[in-house]
Amino acid sequence: MEKIVTESYRHLNDNGLLQLVAKHRKGGSSLSKMMEKCFGNVNVLARKSGYRVYVSIKK
């Protein structure tokens, strides 16, 4: 997953966004931290049944 996050940052234009869905207790928390580290921001767009939609915007 780290490669997906870092490569997407390289390929996105400014204000481009990355949205990923993950089960929070099965790696989603780590994914959120990776996105925060790479993009400098992360928001949870939606939550349901333990899954979350994580969104980061390239600034």
Report pLDDT for 7.
Answer: 97
The whole domain housing 7 covers: 2-57
Query: pLDDT digit of tens for each residue in the chain (59 aa)?
Result: 899 999 999 999 999 999 999 999 899 999 999 999 999 999 999 999 999 999 999 99
Report pLDDT for 1.
Answer: 86
Q: Which two tokens stand for residue 8?
A: 């997407």
Count of structural domains, the chain: 1
Between vectors from CA 27 to CA 49 and to CA 5, what angle results, nearest 5°? 115
Q: Which two tokens stand for residue 41?
A: 């921001």
